[in-house]
Amino acid sequence: MRRTAVAVGVLLLAGCSTTVPGTPKAESFDGSADSEFTNLLTECDAVADDRIADTVGGDAIERGFFGAICRWDVAGPNGIVKVTFNWFENGSLDAERDASQQMMYTTSDITVQGRKAIRQQPPDDPASCGVTAGSPDSGVVGWWVQYLPGSGHPDPCEAATTLMDLTINLSR
């Protein structure tokens, strides 16, 4: 039995190894190299951090995860406000609307600077709201604002719409 287990282990290890031909290329991550990934995270800079904090009524802001989804925690008189920005190059308003409706969110058509957009709000969370619009090139961009429940917060839909307005305005 032990020999069989060892033989199976050796076969599994041998089957999992591969050799990739070629020579590794050294890249610089300081923006000085000519790389397709140089500006990968610049979407998160669509609206300056201080403008985000001001829009949601905060005093201090801390950046979180970056990538297709960017996150900030904003501290202020209403406690911590969670702010999220997304940019999906292959997304569509129809897909976002369908996903929101499947989650039973209240979804309504709006316009932001003449662009079609949708506003989404979870039914049991009036402290949260998202606004998604077609991006300037392709796909969709979206902002979500989530205040603490019961914090006497401002309208999260107004904040999300303002952030979208700032995003579309900057991308002209």
Q: What is the CATH number of the domain that holds 137?
A: 2.60.120
Residue 31 lies in a domain: no
Higher pLDDT, 14 or 46: 46
pLDDT in tens, 85-138: 998 888 899 999 999 999 999 999 999 988 899 999 999 999 999 999 987 677
The helix or strand, by DSSP H or E, that contains position 102, with its residue range, turns out to be helix 93-102
Residue 23 lies in a domain: no
Angle at 141 between CA 85 and CA 30, to 5 degrees: 60
pLDDT in tens, 28-68: 334 444 444 445 557 788 899 999 999 999 999 999 876 67
Query: What are the structure tokens assigned to 66, written together?
Result: 């970056």
Residue 15 lies in a domain: no
Residue 63 lies in a domain: yes
Residue 25 lies in a domain: no
pLDDT of residue 21: 62
The dihedral formed by the CA atoms of 154, 163, 102 and 106, expressed in degrees to the nearest 10 = 40
Please give the sequence-ordered ranges of beta strands (E in DSSP) within 5-127, or none if there are none: 60-63, 69-76, 79-88, 106-112, 115-121
**Residue 160 to residue 162: CA distance in whole angstroms:** 5
Residue 59 lies in a domain: yes
Residue 30 lies in a domain: no
Query: What are the structure tokens assigned to 14, written together?
Result: 């041998």
**Predicted TM-score (pTM) above 0.85:** no
Number of domains composing the chain:
1
**Residue 113 to residue 47: CA distance in whole angstroms:** 16
**Residue 32 to residue 112: CA distance in whole angstroms:** 36
Residue 127 lies in a domain: yes
Which domain, by its residues, includes 166?
42-170
